[in-house]
Amino acid sequence: MSSVRLVDSEPGQSRYAALAAAMRARIVGGEWPPGSAIPAEQTLAAEHGVALGTMRRALELLAEQGLVERVHGRGTFVRQGLSGAPMLRFFRFGAARGEAPRSRILARDTLAAPAEVARALGSGPGEPALRLRRLRSLGGQPVLHEEIWLPLPLFAPLAEGDAAAWGDLLYPLFAERCGVHVHRAVDSIGFGSLGAAQARSLRLPAGHPCARVQRQAFDLAGRCVEWRASLGDANAFHYTVAIT
């Protein structure tokens, strides 16, 4: 005999919003992994002891929040984590356009994150984090220098082993090695100049103007799981926004 999951709503919270929050907790808790189908609406409504219309509204709310996607004729699925949110959409690197970038880890170390990074990652002062320095290339030419900070112990499996075997995309690696699924990312664009080490890796003169894309990436639970700064030649910066 199956039991009914009772849903308690907070004062002023609608029944479907409380139900959506309960469903979100089940997704974040790993009951339904990214990419998996969740049970049918009728099954979930019976399980939670609510009307079918209430369950449908709760699922619509989760879809509006970007947590699930509803596929006509197939059902409702937990959204897949990002496999990669390409930084190259901010740049135009001539003949290499359309080519998939290659990646190489230049350095990996564990140290206390700077204050700005620690705040973004939700870490306390002096807490260690994993720092990666990565170079991305197109057609054999370096185009992006990246500094990536990852919270510990969440990313401890990446602190050891051969980083040369990681491949070109980090987000699938995060999921495979650490069980971390990047759900969304926020990119901010600014401009500055290259330091000496960054300029050498990009084969540009020190002080050369650069475009700087700063990223915070978040998992299903809304935790910031990555802070990244990507630097590229400002002369190659190119970004188009369609306004309708």
Strand ranges in the chain using DSSP code E only, listed in sequence order? 68-71, 75-78, 102-112, 128-138, 141-151, 182-193, 209-219, 224-233
Buried b (16+ CB within 10 A) or exposed e, 89-123: ebbebeebeeeebebebeebeeeebeeebbebbeb
Condensed to tens digits (0 to 9), the pLDDT of residues 173-186 reads 998 899 898 988 99
Domain boundaries, the chain: 15-78, 87-236
β-strand partners of 213:
189, 230
Q: Are 32 and 78 in contact (CB under 8 A)?
A: yes
Distance CA 201, CA 192 (A): 16
Closest CA to 180 of 223, 144, 242, 138: 223
Condensed to tens digits (0 to 9), the pLDDT of residues 89-125 reads 888 876 555 677 899 999 999 999 999 999 999 998 8
pLDDT at 210: 97
Distance CA 168, CA 149 (A): 17
- Domain 87-236 sits in CATH at 3.40.1410.10
Condensed to tens digits (0 to 9), the pLDDT of residues 197-212 reads 999 999 999 999 999 9
Q: 167, exposed or middle or buried, with CB in 10 Å at 0-12, 13-18, 19+?
A: exposed
Closest CA to 45 of 56, 36, 37: 56
Question: What is the second-level CATH architecture of the domain 15-78?
Answer: Orthogonal Bundle (1.10)
